[in-house]
Structure 1
Amino acid sequence: MITTAKRLEIIEEYYFSSKLREVRQLASEGKPIINMGIGSPDLKPSQAVIDAVVLAMQEENAHQYQSYQGLPELRQGMADFYENNYGVDLNPNTEILPLMGSKEGIMHISLAFLNEGDQVLIPNPGYPTYTSVTNLVGAVPVYYDLKEANNWEPDFEALEKLDLSKVKIMWMGYPHMPTGARGSLQLFEKLVAFAKKHNILLINDNPYSFVLNDNPMSLLQVDGAKEVALELNS
């Protein structure tokens, strides 16, 4: 058998993969299961969406390789979305990149910025993929606790006591998964200031800003955030 790369020795099965297997086993035993593992849609797309997909497949160039940066019209639509919903001005040519999903973004960002031995601040609790990808690229996870007593927000006093000299990336995400904490612009301002102070790339994983929320926010609303921050959205 061909020997695999050493990095695979520290990679475990994806958290949700093992949990979903447990769910299937319990269901097969007749147990009543409410699956809260992955937010997979339980409603099919509207007919208008289905019609648009069918129409797109009939376009003259639909069978060809697409642009590496995504269609200009798509990137412009994303820029318009940010302007209309967050009041954030983004250049569709230089500040937006369509992805297949957040996992792709997490991997590419980590590959682009992390060297072996660099440290990464990861929220606890938080999305398991942050840890998986950090380990995969040879970096070191450093967990910062989110506690209910602090509204599930970072404890900046505790963070300042850490040796941050090797920290390159800090992952965050509000509205937060799995606690549901919404965060605030004041929190975002503190996070941007913290990232600037310690020369850390701050990344907001922001797929839930419109879920049960009348006040959607973006980290990029903070003045100067673009100097130290990226945001994933969907």
Structure 2
Amino acid sequence: MIPKAERLHSVEEYYFSKKLREVATLEKEGKPIINMAIGSPDLQPPQKVIQALEATSKLENAHSYQSYQGIPALRLAMCDFYDKNYKVSLNENEVMPLMGSKEGVMMISLAFLNVGDEVLIPDPGYPTYTSVTKLVGAKPVFYNLNAKNNWLPDFEELENQNLEKVKIMWVNYPHMPTGTKGTADAFQKIVSFAKKHQILVVNDNPYSFILNENPLSILATDGAKEVALELNSLSKSFNMAGWRVGLVVGSEKYIKAILQVKSNMDSGMFLGIQKGAIAALKTSNEWLANLNAIYEKRRKIVWEIMEVLNCTYSKNSSGLFVWGKLPNGINEIDLTDKLLSNNNIFIAPGSIFGTNGKGYIRASLCVPVVKLKEALQRLITV
């Protein structure tokens, strides 16, 4: 076999990629697995989104290459969406559609990081920040998030670190996996910190409309465009995870740098998907309210599951997950493996998101009420 690239020695296959193969094997054996680990929306997108895709697919020009930057109508819809929901004014050159925000993590890293640069990554946080940083030859530097500080950055601790080589700082509010909401004060401190140390801060913001009455963007912070980018996604808010539609917004100079990478990586997004995305972005807030009503019902059952497992949790969190603290002495890996083996329930161990996730578990709301009630019953009757 031809040897694989050395860069692959620094990263492992994504946890869920491996674990889902195990779950699939159990299902083939007839095990009735209830998957509460993955944040993959199980509900339908708005009907107008599907109609737009269907109608566009019949157009003569629908199946040709599209613009690397997305059609102007999509970029305009994204600008309008930010103005309406976040009170952030953008022009068409300050927004770029992505094939999912996960693509954006790679594009931004390739656009701004050199080999040996350092990257501030939250612990706990989205594992992709770490793996992509390693893949491009940069060095992850983890900063602590914990319950004592309400899962927000501790700037006193950060200021005591050597930040000379730090080029990018990843933040993610509402936070995954804990569900902690962002605040205007926290974003102001993050922007001030980034300006002081000449760091590009990137807020990953796909959960801001899920069980959250006050959606915020870091770009609403005074002076943020000088040092900040924001990733967003239609996956969670509009149940379009498989469509792979995301966006990055920020200063035109930063967007141009990302385009230098992106234009060499793909040949534009299918027109039908772009038209569907426009329909989603124009959807009324009533649709989101109805979606959140469903998640609210589900979350109450997940809270009950957490209580049966003797976990403590916050009722003030947002997003698609419930983050539960296990009793002292309980190992999260052992517990989740036991739940899968004995109860056919798949829940994510918190330690896959970082060392500060030890002693925690994460349960998804992307499960129908009937299945959540069944999971609860399995735990009660054992």
Shorter-chain TM-score: which interval?
over 0.9
Q: Which amino acid aligns with 1:58?
A: K
Q: How does 1:10-159 map to 2 (within 5 A)?
A: 10-28=10-28, 33-92=33-92, 94-159=93-158
Deviations 1:146-181 (A, max 9, x none): 101111101111100000001100001100001000
Q: CA deviation at 1:124?
A: 0.6
Q: Distance in 2 between matches of 1:133 and 1:47?
A: 35
Instruction: Work out which structure has the larger RCO, using CA pairs closer than 8 Å and 6 or more positions apart in sequence.
Output: 2
Q: Which moved more, 1:180-189 or 1:3-12?
A: 3-12
Q: Distance in 1 between matches of 2:19 and 2:199?
A: 33
Q: Distance in 1 between matches of 2:45 and 2:102?
A: 23
Deviations 1:69-114 (A, max 9, x none): 000000000000000001100111x210100011210001001111
Indicate the structure with greater helix content. 2
Q: CA deviation at 1:9?
A: 1.8
Supply the RMSD in Å over aligned alpha carbons: 1.5
Q: CA deviation at 1:22?
A: 3.4
Q: Distance in 1 between matches of 2:34 and 2:124?
A: 21
Q: Distance in 2 between matches of 1:145 and 1:30?
A: 41
Q: Which amino acid aligns with 1:227?
A: E
Alignment of 1:212 with 2:193, yes or no, is no
Deviations 1:107-143 (A, max 9, x none): 0100111111111000011001000100100111111
Q: Distance in 1 between matches of 2:125 and 2:80?
A: 29
Q: Which amino acid aligns with 1:111?
A: L
Q: CA deviation at 1:57?
A: 0.7
SS of the residue corresponding to residue 96 of structure 2 reads: coil
Q: Which moved more, 1:31-40 or 1:66-75?
A: 31-40
Q: CA deviation at 1:46?
A: 4.0
Instruction: Point out where structure 1 has 5 or more consecutive residues left out of the alignment.
Output: none
Q: CA deviation at 1:30?
A: 5.8
Q: Which moved more, 1:162-171 or 1:37-46?
A: 37-46
Q: Distance in 2 between matches of 1:58 and 1:32?
A: 40
SS of the residue corresponding to residue 219 of structure 2 reads: helix
Q: State whether residues 125 and 145 of structure 1, in contact with CA within 8 Å, keep that contact through their aligned partners in structure 2.
A: yes
Q: Distance in 2 between matches of 1:32 and 1:142?
A: 40
Instruction: Point out where structure 2 has 5 or more consecutive residues left out of the alignment.
Output: 234-382
Q: State whether residues 19 and 37 of structure 1, in contact with CA within 8 Å, keep that contact through their aligned partners in structure 2.
A: no
State percent identity of aligned pairs.
68
Alignment CA distance shift 1:29-1:152 (3 Å): farther
Deviations 1:2-25 (A, max 9, x none): 232211222210122123233334
Q: Distance in 2 between matches of 1:31 and 1:157?
A: 49
TM-score (norm 1): 0.95
Q: CA deviation at 1:26?
A: 4.6
SS of the residue corresponding to residue 162 of structure 1 reads: coil
Q: State whether residues 168 and 200 of structure 1, in contact with CA within 8 Å, keep that contact through their aligned partners in structure 2.
A: yes
Which of these two proteins has the greater Rg computed from alpha carbons? 2
Alignment CA distance shift 1:57-1:209 (3 Å): same
Q: CA deviation at 1:66?
A: 0.1
Q: CA deviation at 1:59?
A: 1.9
Q: CA deviation at 1:192?
A: 0.1
Instruction: Give the structure 2 partner of residue 191 of structure 1.
Output: 190
Q: State whether residues 172 and 203 of structure 1, in contact with CA within 8 Å, keep that contact through their aligned partners in structure 2.
A: yes
Q: CA deviation at 1:33?
A: 4.0
Instruction: Give the structure 2 partner of residue 2 of structure 1.
Output: 2
Q: Which amino acid aligns with 1:39?
A: G
Q: CA deviation at 1:213?
A: 0.8
Q: State whether residues 168 and 201 of structure 1, in contact with CA within 8 Å, keep that contact through their aligned partners in structure 2.
A: yes
Instruction: Give the structure 1 partner of residue 335 of structure 2.
Output: none
Q: Distance in 1 between matches of 2:35 and 2:14?
A: 17
Q: Distance in 2 between matches of 1:197 and 1:48?
A: 45
Q: CA deviation at 1:208?
A: 0.4
Alignment CA distance shift 1:25-1:146 (3 Å): farther
SS of the residue corresponding to residue 185 of structure 2 reads: helix
Q: State whether residues 175 and 206 of structure 1, in contact with CA within 8 Å, keep that contact through their aligned partners in structure 2.
A: yes
Instruction: Give the structure 1 partner of residue 340 of structure 2.
Output: none
